[in-house]
Structure 1
Amino acid sequence: MAPPNPELLCVSTRRGVFLNTILYGVLVVQTFNYFQTYKTTDKPLIRYLVIYLLVLETFNTGCVMEMMYDILVKPLVRTKPPSGPPKPPMLLSADAIVTVFISTPVQLFMARRICVLSESVIVPIIILVLSFVSLGGGTALSILVTIIPDFSRFNEFYPAVSTWLGASALADLLITGCLLFTLQRKRTGMRATDGIINKIMLLTIQTGLITTVFAIADLVLALSIRGKGFNFIPDFALSKLYTNTLLASLNARMDYGAILSNPDNLLFRSNVNTNKSQAASIPIHFGHHSGDNDTVNSSCCSGD
């Protein structure tokens, strides 16, 4: 494999880092909103998951910024030209393993939601397997980049890249499709309830498919346009998309609760005679194993 074009590699890396840092800002705001609202109501495990993701994302952003320093600044202060083929930035090896350490818990969280909603374990088990396959592929890739820090030999990494991104994209696609199918089956014919379900389905499409698209784009660019580094653009944003997806689904419960507790709004104008306390607890059988009914906002997006 020919060595990469340094100029294209620099441009692609810079754009990927910019996208990563922008999404990190969104992540910080979403995390702040989450703890402002659910600091005392969500189970500790969910709060610990959010903290864990924030810490890893902060580390990830630090890594990509250090990579930009390696690419843009170090060549300017180097006293003598480098010998041998161009080497990747030192912290590039951390990218894949940090990303899968973020994506795997998010996918497992969503798999559990599907298990609760659908009362089935078949699809969640498939998602679990794909998630751990992706974890193995990302870990293997990081190890390979550490052992062989040579851009010209990156063709040796493509099996690990394909395993990581292919399994992750397939898991995301299953999560999105299964959630949409399950929510579609939960329609009751009640205007307010179906309106909330429609909003949840729209959120699922907006957040669930974006990780799938970026994972596929990362894989396609890595395998088809080699030596240019174009895959770094979606790659550096991937972990942030997983975390923002999870936080978006958790924070969206505020909106669903407000709609259900205020039935006299423009969206549900026809329900003006509905009692607010009844609207706030519209039961939808979302399949908790205890047999209890849950409201749309608590069952669909929470992690209990």
Structure 2
Amino acid sequence: MASPPSPQALLAPYYLGTCLNTFLYGILVIQTLFYFQNYKSDKIWLRFFVLYLFTVETLNTALCVAMIYEPLVKQFGTDLPTSLFPSLLPSQPFLEAAIFVPVQFFYAWRIWIIMRNYFAPVLICMASLSSLVGAVWTAIIVNQVKSYSNKAKVDHTALVWSCSAAVADIIITTSLIWSLRMKKTGIKRTDDVIDRILRTSIQTGGLTVAFTILDVALFVALPNSTLSFVFDFAIPKLYSNALISTFNVRSTGRPETVDLATQAPHESNNMLFLETNQQVATSATIVFTKPSPTEGQFDGPSDILGLSTAHPQEEPT
């Protein structure tokens, strides 16, 4: 039977993980406000999806704060914080699953739109569902065992949850990078656009993958510590921030966007929302389209996923 962790090894990760979760929530608030202010023409289901993510993330952050209040304040001066799990800890796997499963399924759908191949999307969905089962199972067992002395009973289900999520994230990131690289045309300015989007995909997807891998590694390497919670509590916010940030860099269909700091037009696009015969639009002076498999011509603007209800403006010829 594993011995209980020390107060420092147990409570500090809860506190640091909640601080990181709250910090990322602040970024999410800005991302969400920007989305609703600038993409009012998006289809109603997408706007409700963003609202759903923000609502669940708000609940997740509130429960994180309430969860650490119990051992740090309510149970202060007793031995309960080092012997019993916080009573709200089982809520974390449920809420995290309510965030990462829809996001991973959305990415799977978007990858299918780009690649027109079911292999990677099916693998993503299977890994995501496996992670969902592991998360729900973990929450149930944590609620049953209640104490750190029985933590070993949680290990296997938690590994299924974390490892499956990591596999899904790795497939998502590698699929996006590979599919975007395959879209290069040889036209320098178009390829520069793709390279910029590739960097964004690596930054957002890579950070999420890194956190999930660190979560698993620390959970396995330090079974008597809660150090993995530093990364685990932040992962839901990384999912939502990464997804909504991709919404926020799409072309809005306006002829150009203006940097408020410099009053100069700048490029704004997201090729992940474009497919064959659709335009890669950046600014009024840089407008390209991707050729279809059968034609070398360039066509007018459109939103690949049909996320916008408004018809985009046509460029002057």
Instruction: Name the TM-score, length of structure 1 as normaliser.
Output: 0.85
Counterpart Cα distance in 1 of 2:90 and 2:128? 20
Counterpart Cα distance in 1 of 2:4 and 2:254? 55
Partner of 1:270: none
Opposite residue 212 of structure 1, the aligned amino acid is: V
Runs of 4+ in 1 over 2 A off after TM superposition: 81-85, 254-262, 264-267, 276-280, 292-295, 297-304
Query: 1:181 aligned to 2:178?
Result: yes
**3-state SS of paired residue (1:16):** helix
Partner of 1:118: 115
Query: Which residue, 201, 204, 207 being the options, matches 1:207?
Result: 204
Opposite residue 62 of structure 1, the aligned amino acid is: A
Contact kept, 8 Å, 1:172 with 1:208, in 2: the verdict is yes
Counterpart Cα distance in 2 of 1:249 and 1:215? 20
Residues 187 and 206 of structure 1, relative CA distance in 2, 3 Å threshold? same
Seq. identity, %: 32
Deviations 1:196-240 (A, max 9, x none): 111111111001111111111111111111222101100110100
Residues 169 and 294 of structure 1, relative CA distance in 2, 3 Å threshold? farther
Residues 85 and 191 of structure 1, relative CA distance in 2, 3 Å threshold? closer
| Distance apart, 1:75 and its partner CA | 2.4
Counterpart Cα distance in 1 of 2:106 and 2:308? 7
Contact kept, 8 Å, 1:186 with 1:285, in 2: the verdict is no
Opposite residue 16 of structure 1, the aligned amino acid is: G
Counterpart Cα distance in 2 of 1:192 and 1:48? 35
Query: Which residue, 281, 290, 297 being the options, matches 1:284?
Result: 290
| Distance apart, 1:261 and its partner CA | 11
| Distance apart, 1:277 and its partner CA | 6.2
Partner of 2:275: none
Partner of 2:139: 142
Contact kept, 8 Å, 1:250 with 1:302, in 2: the verdict is no
Partner of 1:299: 304
Query: Which residue, 85, 89, 93 being the options, matches 1:92?
Result: 89
Matched residue pairs, number? Answer: 285
Counterpart Cα distance in 2 of 1:151 and 1:58? 28
Partner of 1:11: 12
Opposite residue 70 of structure 1, the aligned amino acid is: E
| Distance apart, 1:299 and its partner CA | 3.4
Contact kept, 8 Å, 2:255 with 2:284, in 1: the verdict is no
Query: 1:33 aligned to 2:34?
Result: yes
**3-state SS of paired residue (2:88):** helix
**3-state SS of paired residue (2:235):** helix
Opposite residue 166 of structure 1, the aligned amino acid is: C
Counterpart Cα distance in 2 of 1:266 and 1:51? 28
Contact kept, 8 Å, 2:5 with 2:82, in 1: the verdict is no
How does 1:76-87 map onto structure 2 within 5 Å?
A: 76=76, 81=78, 86-87=83-84
Opposite residue 31 of structure 1, the aligned amino acid is: T
Opposite residue 13 of structure 1, the aligned amino acid is: Y
| Distance apart, 1:68 and its partner CA | 1.6
| Distance apart, 1:302 and its partner CA | 5.8
| Distance apart, 1:286 and its partner CA | 8.1
Deviations 1:152-194 (A, max 9, x none): 1111111111111111111111111111111111111222221
Contact kept, 8 Å, 1:253 with 1:301, in 2: the verdict is no
Higher relative contact order (CA 8 A, sep 6+): 1
Which stretches in structure 1 are left out of the alignment for 5+ residues? 268-275
Contact kept, 8 Å, 2:31 with 2:241, in 1: the verdict is yes
Opposite residue 46 of structure 2, the aligned amino acid is: I
Instruction: Name the TM-score, length of structure 2 as normaliser.
Output: 0.82
Counterpart Cα distance in 2 of 1:265 and 1:3? 58
Counterpart Cα distance in 2 of 1:181 and 1:225? 35
Contact kept, 8 Å, 2:67 with 2:86, in 1: the verdict is yes
Residues 37 and 261 of structure 1, relative CA distance in 2, 3 Å threshold? closer
Partner of 1:234: 231
Contact kept, 8 Å, 2:43 with 2:307, in 1: the verdict is no
Counterpart Cα distance in 2 of 1:33 and 1:148? 43
Counterpart Cα distance in 1 of 2:308 and 2:146? 40
| Distance apart, 1:283 and its partner CA | 1.7
Partner of 2:247: 250
Residues 293 and 144 of structure 1, relative CA distance in 2, 3 Å threshold? farther
Opposite residue 304 of structure 2, the aligned amino acid is: S
Contact kept, 8 Å, 1:250 with 1:301, in 2: the verdict is no
Which stretches in structure 2 are left out of the alignment for 5+ residues? 268-282, 310-317
